[in-house]
Amino acid sequence: MREPEPISVDYVVAGAGVAGLRAAIELSRGGRVLVLAKGNVGESATAVAQGGIAAALSDEDEISLHEQDTIRAGDGLCDPQAVHGLVEEGPQDIQELIGWGTQFDRSGTRLAFTREGAHSRSRIRHAHGDSTGWEISRALFAKAATIDRIELRPQSFTIEIETSPESAGIAGLRFLDEKSGREARVVCRAVLLATGGLGRMYPETTNPPSATGDGMAVGFRAGAVLSDMEFIQFHPTALAAPKAPPFLLSEALRGEGGVLRNAMLERFMPHYHEGAELAPRAVVGRAIGSDVRRARSSHVYLDLTGLDEEYVKKRFPRIYATCLTYGIDITEDMIPVRPAAHYAMGGVKTDLSGRTTLAGLYAAGEVAATGVHGANRLASNSLLEGLVFGARAGQAMLEDAPAPHGSKKQSGRGQKGPAKQKHHSSSGTVSNGPAPAAGSVRAAHAEEEKPEPVLGKIREILGSRVEILRDGKELARAIHELDAMELPAPGGPERRAWEIYNMWTLARVVARSALAREESRGSHYRSDFPYRDDDRFNRHSIVTREGPVRFE
């Protein structure tokens, strides 16, 4: 049977979260852009993000303080240039979002701010109380829908990056068109990976069902370098109620005054860190993990009962309603919580403008390792990173692979990133999609799945041996067990088979990277190497499909 003709566009964006949509808006200034959304409109980690987006916009704040807080949380591995770009460009990019219709919460006529862990100032903007990601997603979709050059294709799952033998660069990609049940091919000038994270490979995660590491895996198979894959951030407070999935309970709950209590209902965080409940996430998560092990319990408690009842309901409407469905009134009851896999600091290695180690391939958002987060992400910096580096990546794609003379380049945002930094390393109808309607975005907790035996085994290995508290013996055992599974690469139009293969591929990389880093830093804690070792490991890990984990 003859293969159908490929779709031809100027640029392809795989992923429709904040990074992908912001890049697509930027790219539309210079050519036709195809955005491939894995699921339906609005089903991304952006859409379910609760807490907020950080930037120095309040009168009491300064860009330099946000920069210091980010670097401090990153525990020695932040790229200073990346952090400076993030915090410097963030305020004006958020103002741009507001100009596009994003409705952040206000106190009177002024923007409302809250504080989260490891922030020295109240600089977190939120929307609809605890639905910030949804509001940002809504505004970006609405903006994109007004631009004729942006085409959104839902239910399109990226499975392979295609390279050009002549140029050794990217020629396009293949994806599964789930509406037709067939593979499709796109040829283009450049590809941006903006597919999000990998949390669904863990047994307990706050991530939406789409977070199966697809962009990291396809980039890795194509030959791109992955970096810092050992650094998996576990959110300290996921709901641990009976029969409830691990729904994320925003750090803003603690920022507003919630406290953590152990099985004896004693407040314990002041014993671990001077910041108490607002210590860096890695510290809070490990403290909870240690307390749970010591008490042989399954959870600790988050206590909001000392806060004003009406304020809690108004400030956290989605969290209040969700917990109520599991019989917990957060204004009256202690909330059972425990850590769950939440965010990957590592990913496809990029420069400061989203360029990967493969010509023509770019990455932005959680799929990328930009150096912004170092060993531990500062709370509410992820939406900001997607916004800032999505725009930077789009700008770099226009500069590196300009559309042919048929597409007029429109004036856009000025050059704000650094000079080019090249890395060199050892069909169907497409149409604009609507903005997601209120209530259309499914929360990560809403879909409980019965995993296939292979996926269940992967999750069991990671949950017991590559967890928040690690040691070399268990990591080595995890690698052995994962390698022994020997999954063959899928060859048909079955999305779930590809997702499981992607998660298995990345589980092996994460375990190998964690074993290679013989120290404790940020979100990576080794009980057999409990101290930070700057002499040997104040460097980023890198791994390719051909070789072992190295440190650069």
**Hey, which residues are catalytic here?**
281
Question: Token pair of 365, please?
Answer: 């958002």
User: What does the longest C-alpha to C-alpha distance in the chain come to?
Assistant: 70
> Hey, is 234 helix, strand or coil?
strand
**In whole angstroms, how far apart are CA 293 and each of 104, 299, 364, 469?**
40, 9, 37, 11
> Hey, is 521 helix, strand or coil?
strand
Q: Whose structure tokens read 């089903």?
A: 43
Question: Token pair of 16, please?
Answer: 């429709």
**In whole angstroms, how far apart are CA 399 and each of 30, 355, 414, 417?**
10, 11, 12, 12
List the end-to-end C-alpha distance of the chain, in Å, as a whole number. 47
Q: Residues 6 or more apart from 8 whose CB is under 8 A from it? A: 186, 187, 188
> Hey, is 179 helix, strand or coil?
coil
**In whole angstroms, how far apart are CA 347 and each of 82, 315, 341, 367, 495?**
15, 33, 15, 5, 21
According to DSSP, the residues that pair with 233 across neighbouring strands are: 343
Phi, psi of 542, deg, nearest 5 = -135, 150
Q: Residues 6 or more apart from 525 whose CB is under 8 A from it? A: 282, 286, 468, 469, 470
Handedness of CA 86, 92, 96, 97 (dihedral sign): positive
**DSSP assigned state of 39:** S
Q: Residues 6 or more apart from 439 whose CB is under 8 A from it? A: none
Phi, psi of 118, deg, nearest 5 = 70, 5
Q: Residues 6 or more apart from 182 whose CB is under 8 A from it? A: 4, 176, 493
Question: Which runs of E-coded beta strand occur in 296-425?
Answer: 300-303, 335-344, 347-349, 361-363, 368-369
φ/ψ region of 118 (left if φ > 0, alpha if ψ in -120 to 50, else beta) reads: left
Count of beta carbons in the 10 Å neighbourhood of residue 432? 15
> Hey, is 19 helix, strand or coil?
helix
Burial (CB count <10 Å: 0-12, 13-18, 19+), residue 516: middle
Q: Whose structure tokens read 């591929």?
A: 505
According to DSSP, the residues that pair with 53 across neighbouring strands are: 125
Phi, psi of 13, deg, nearest 5 = -115, 115
Taking the C-alpha atoms of residue 305 and residue 330, their distance in angstroms, rounded to an integer, is 7
Burial (CB count <10 Å: 0-12, 13-18, 19+), residue 298: exposed
